[in-house]
Amino acid sequence: MQTEPKDVIILGSIRRGKKKFSAIQNETKINPEELNSILEELENKKFIRVEESKGWFGKKIELKITDNGSNELDKKIIEIQSKWKEMQVLYQNGDKQKLQEKMEENKSFLPSMMFFGVMDMMMFSMMFSMMGVGMSDYVSQENMSDNGMEDGGMEDGGMEDGGFDFDIGF
C-alpha cells in the first residue's frame, strides 16, 4: 500500500506515544486541517484506530497505531533507510551529478529521513556543500527548525486548535 511521507511521519509520531491531536500536531508541525485529513485517511486504511473513553471532564479520545499501521511504518522506514544509503554511496563516490538527481528524486522523503533520525546531518550538509546548493532548496524551513522547543513546544503560547483532542488532561 502506498503512503505519503507525511502519513509516515504521523504514524511514527503515534507509535512514539503521541496519542492526542495536539501532541501529534506539535511534533509534526503539520497544519491542523491537513493533519485531520491525514488522520481520517489513516483510520480509513486501518493504520490507526480512535479509542474513546470517559475521563474526568467528559469524553477522552486517543489515537493508537494498529498492527497494520506498525507494519506499514516499518516497511517505510526500511525504504527511507535504503534511499539514504544510496545517497551516501553517491556522496562517498564523489558523483555530484547522480547525487543531485537522487536528492531531487527523493526530495519528498527528506523530512521523513530527518524525523526518524535516519540521516547523518553532518554528511547531509556536506552533500549540499559538494553540490554547491543550499539546504533550503531541498528542505522547507519548517522541517529544519528546532521542533519548536524554545517555547516548550507550544507555538502559540499553549492554546491550540483541538481536532480529535477533547481531553484537557492532567
93 part of a folded domain: yes
Q: How far apart are alpha carbons 107 and 162 in whole angstroms?
A: 30
114 part of a folded domain: yes
Q: Is the pTM of this model over 0.75?
A: no
pLDDT tens per residue across span 2-33: 557 899 999 999 999 999 999 999 999 999 99
84 part of a folded domain: yes
80 part of a folded domain: yes
Beta strands in the chain (DSSP E): 48-55, 58-65
45 part of a folded domain: no
140 part of a folded domain: yes
Residue that is written with C-alpha cell 503521541 in the block: 18
Q: How far apart are alpha carbons 7 and 38 in whole angstroms?
A: 7
pLDDT tens per residue across span 44-91: 999 999 998 887 788 888 999 999 999 999 999 999 999 999 999 999
Phi and psi at 117, nearest 5°, equal 70, 25
86 part of a folded domain: yes
Query: For residue 104, what are the domain limits?
Result: 74-144
Please give the tally of structural domains in the chain: 1
Handedness of CA 77, 79, 80, 82 (dihedral sign): positive
Q: Which three cell numbers stand for residue 104?
A: 531531487
Q: How far apart are alpha carbons 56 and 139 in whole angstroms?
A: 42
123 part of a folded domain: yes
